[in-house]
Amino acid sequence: MTINELTIKWLNRDTGHGPRIAGHFWPTDIHKIRQGYLKPCNFFKSKPINNDEAVSLITRGIALEDFLLKVFKETKAKVEHHKKFELDCGDFVISGEMDFLLKDKVIECKYPRERCYEIPDRYLDQMTAYHMATGLDVYLCEFPFPVKLHKLIPDKKRWKENLELLRDFNNQLKNNG
């Protein structure tokens, strides 16, 4: 097997999350639902990662995260890596893992296609979920070097819309499932 084939195999491994269930969402689901990529008809189906661009972006993000973890450990920074959270929204739950949780902030690592001057729309909902779960400031950590931290400015109106979007989506899952 080539290194590329091994990488794709690793990205598509069983991560132990178990099957998708109605009423349980990941923060990244919100944007996918907003954009129409995630629908009730495909919510329960696992889609393999095999697009070269997606594999490239994901693996660079993982490399960034692994590098920062090494920096934090060797400098003895107080940080929790892959801190799990669960946000109870009444009739559904949003849960996941934050890349890094520090005393006063959350850091989410990304390696975007091009340099950002603000947080791209595709990350806003995910990062807002982290803010809602912790009450802390959330930053997008953008590579390559020099590292840039972009502070999330939570949009309460958008968050309210997200909750309604997930509530409607969840009702569709329950009624059609």
Interval 121-153: pLDDT, tens = 999 999 999 999 999 999 998 876 778 889 999
Of the candidates 9, 19, 20, the residue with the CA atom closest to the CA atom of residue 49: 9
Delineate the domains of the chain, giving CATH numbers in brackets. 21-176 (3.90.320.10)
Place of tokens 């349980």: 24
List the beta strands (DSSP E) in the chain.
24-25, 79-88, 93-102, 105-110, 137-142, 148-151
Interval 80-119: pLDDT, tens = 999 999 999 999 999 999 999 999 999 999 877 777 788 9
Please say whether the beta carbons of 144 and 115 come within 8 A. Answer: no
What pTM did the predictor assign? 0.90
Q: What is the number of other CB atoms lying within 10 angstroms of the CB of residue 31?
A: 18
Please say whether the beta carbons of 126 and 30 come within 8 A. Answer: yes
